Amino acid sequence: MSTGARHPQQEQLERLVRGELHDPHGFLGRHETPAGVIVRAYRPDATAINVVAGDSVVAKLERIHPAGVFEGAAADVPTSYRLEVAYPDGQTFVLHDPYRFPPTVGELDTYLAAEGKHRRLYEKLGAHVRAIAGVAGTSFAVWAPNARAVRVVGDFNSWDGRLHPMRSMGPSGIWELFLPDVGPGALYKFEILTQHGTLRIKTDPYAFQTEAPPANASIVHAPRHRWGDQEWLQRRTEQDPYTSPVSVYEVHLGSWRRTPDGGFLGYRDAGRLLADYCRDMGFTHVEFLPLAEHPFGGSWGYQVSHYYAPTARFGTPDDFRAMVDTLHQAGLGVIMDWVPAHFPRDDWALARFDGTALYEHEDPRKGEHPDWGTLVFNFGRNEVRNFLISNALYWIEEMHIDGLRVDAVASMLYLDYSRPEGAWTPNVFGGNENLEAIEFLKELNEVVHADHPGVMMIAEESTAWPGVSRPTYLGGLGFGFKWNMGWMHDTLLYFSKDPIYRRYHHNNLTFSLVYAFTENFILPLSHDEVVHGKGSLIGKMPGDDWQRFANLRALFAYMWAHPGKQMLFMGGEIGQWAEWSHDRSIDWHLLDQGLLHRGVQRLVADLNRVYAGEPALYERDFSPDGFRWIDANDADNNVVSFYRLDASGERVLVCVANLSPVVREGFRLGLPRGGTFREVINTDAEDYGGSGVGNLGRVEAEPIPWHGLGHSALVRLPPLGVVWLAG
């Protein structure tokens, strides 16, 4: 056909050249006709194109459009043909034609995606290295339902979107294309033509790997790590986290430790160091602030741009896998903070992805978060819920994460969260509950708990919403655990007071036991308590340096004995003076400056050791049967005492806290049974930097009723100290 003649499929031809053809495979590639086989190719800068089968040219294509569309006919062209493309500089390339391959996304995939029920949608969308008909390459797929056209661009096509338009998979809104000879390491993005005719260059929402910020291209990734944690994963399915010891060390990976020159530790090095440190310290789990890719380091990971990609700041996805594997083989669980509540506005990421409010709400009263300047997911949209639930499963299944701490749950539950009157819209019943977010959270927790027994789902929820950690069939949200923000606030308030005033705040110390068993609580002393001018934990304590450290040690011992699992942010265990900064390492050098810092660290290690060996401290964390007050009302002496029971009721752990700077000699303490009680923890021990006031390792319970109990003993209570007695 001459260049000037009208083509039988002129409309498709023109739409192809304009970049608007939604089904390029229907025009390009190999097509059988009654007269033979027609092959069409679009290579804008080519001078000539031949069709090659084996070593032979089976058809010569002629230009049918000046933009670079070529066409030719032959009696027969095998389906395995290739294109020989010549360019003006004399170079010739032989390549597989992307438009001769079948779709990589099937009808069942598109149906389940539209219904929001494709649990492993990450296996279809994004970039996947694979072979089709013996040809190696990468399949690309993206959800952009309101786009007029979508193209793949990358370093493999000089970022020229004309070369690789994608195929629309009908009303599902999914576009796909298989590109032969594109492999791991290739950089890519999606070029989206909006309904208004503008081009948006977007990174892949399902990208498994990205460039390190500030660069943001997606990277084709094929995992190569060989896992060695099968024994850990099997044990996880058999172990009940509710009745097992859980002591969590919270870590911001970029500032836990730095290299000597101030740079980041990579995932692999950090994994080895963390495994050794946490094992020595007796922690059972490491919880990372979000490690999904985020453009702004100052967000600490809480403004996620790529939900499926570990941040490239510390290495590759396989490096991330190696870190998790190392921690598992050291006997440590891995929890990661996960942020489904909101995402940043970066134009190259999720925001107005296909030119419309796709992942977010169109209405800013629902779609914008006033506190963080971010966008809120549209939880009422099937595909958005699918994106997030599939993402949660991705971290659990592909990255072997043992738990997700869901950030900012309160902001999801309430339509008026942090919004003034008139800046939010009620639900269909006129209330302030976000019904769509509630259903999303329930579905998320049901899916995770059904598919992955033993995985911890933890809510950071700061209000009195009922049943956060109760099963959905009982009307709860279905989380396994909830952070006890009330305990944190009240306890820190109490400990911040000078002991002379503590009697007036005694209720702050004891009130948590009024509601301690209404949820499955984790007691958090998290990163949020040591930033934004709040100072460090040791900085909150009153008195001189010795008293501050004594108070901090007492706080930790009280916390570890309190019902609930516990979590401590890095730096707290060494009594770091400075407020945490994400821009530098925590102050490890303090351990070389005297016993007080080393003493706190040693105490935390001993608390974890005793805790793990005393079932009374963890088997009944969430049952009132495992806790008894001895005396909750001794406000004048700043003393509280209680005991914990294991599941059998036979093992007892008594905790008595003297939170005044006065030694209390001959203090009669009621005990639940007779016999010997071993002093297993004394925060005033000289090894910890204390004054050494104690009970010589044991006390003997006498049959003298006291505190409503049948036995008692005379004990020495150290100043600003906590004593644990095991019997």
Catalytic residue numbers, as ranges:
407, 460
Locus of tokens 């900085």: 539
Angle at 362 between CA 359 and CA 367, to 5 degrees: 70
Q: How far apart are the first and last CA of the chain?
A: 96
At 502, which amino acid appears?
R
SS3 state at 452: coil
Compute CA distances 362 → 149, 204, 359, whole Å.
Answer: 22, 21, 9
At 562, which amino acid appears?
H
Task: Tokens for 141, please give them.
Answer: 């797929």
- HSE-CB at 719 with a 13 A cutoff on CA atoms is 14
Closest CA to 667 of 725, 718, 727, 600: 718
Helix axes 317-329, 230-238, angle to 10 degrees: 60
Q: Where are the beta strands (DSSP E) in 311-356?
A: 333-338
Task: Tokens for 238, please give them.
Answer: 């058999």
* Rg of the chain taking only CA atoms, in angstroms: 31
φ, ψ of residue 486 to 5 degrees: the values are: -65, -45
- HSE-CB at 348 with a 13 A cutoff on CA atoms is 14
In angstroms, the CA 130 to CA 264 distance is 33
Strand partners, 336: 288, 404
In angstroms, the CA 510 to CA 633 distance is 9
The kind and range of the H/E element at 510 are helix 506-510
Q: How many beta carbons lie within 10 A of that of residue 624, not counting itself?
A: 11
In angstroms, the CA 189 to CA 164 distance is 12
Measured in whole angstroms, the distance separating CA 648 from the mean position of its chain's CA atoms is: 36
Compute CA distances 107 → 10, 110, 119, whole Å.
Answer: 29, 5, 15
Task: Tokens for 24, please give them.
Answer: 């390029």
Q: Using an 8 Å Cβ cutoff, are 63 and 32 in contact?
A: no
